Amino acid sequence: MEDAQLGVIRIKRNSRAKQMLFRPCDEGLVVTVPAFSTQSQIKTAIKEMRERLLKLRQRHAETARTITPDFRIDNEFFTYHAQVDQRKSPIVRHTQNGAVCLYPASFSFEDKDFQEWLIHQITEGIRRVAAREFPPRLRALAEARGLKYTQVRISKAKGRWGSCSQQKHISLSLYLLLLPRHLQDHVMHHELTHLVEMNHGPRFHALMDKAVNGREQENEKEIKNCDIAFCKF
pLDDT tens-place string over residues 20-45: 999 887 778 999 999 999 999 999 99
How high is the pLDDT of residue 117?
Answer: 93
pTM of the model: 0.73
Number of folded domains that form the chain: 3
Q: What per-residue confidence (pLDDT) applies to 50?
A: 93
Shortest CA distance to 32 belongs to which of 24, 169, 150, 59?
24
With a cut of 70, list the residues of the chain below it in pLDDT.
62-65, 227-233
Q: 51 vs 21, 48, 55, 148, CA distance in Å?
A: 15, 8, 6, 45
Residue 56 domain-assigned (yes or no): yes
State whether 56 and 95 are in the same domain: no
Residue 68 lies in a domain: no
Residues pairing with 35 in the sheet: none
Contacts of 191 (CB under 8 A, 6+ apart): 162, 163, 164, 170, 171, 172
Amino acid symbol at 76: E
Rounded-to-integer distance, Cα 126 and Cα 98, Å: 7
Say whether both 212 and 145 belong to one domain. yes
Burial class (CB in 10 A: 0-12, 13-18, 19+), 194: buried
| 120 plus 179 within the same structural domain | no
User: Looking at residue 209, which CATH number applies to its domain?
Assistant: 3.30.2010.10
Residue 26 lies in a domain: yes
Q: H helices then E strands: how many in the chain?
A: 6, 11
* Inter-residue contact 20 to 31 (CB < 8 Å): yes
What residues make up the domain containing 58? Answer: 2-62
**What integer pLDDT is reported at residue 48 of this predicted model?**
94
pLDDT in tens, 131-162: 999 999 999 999 999 999 999 999 988 778 99
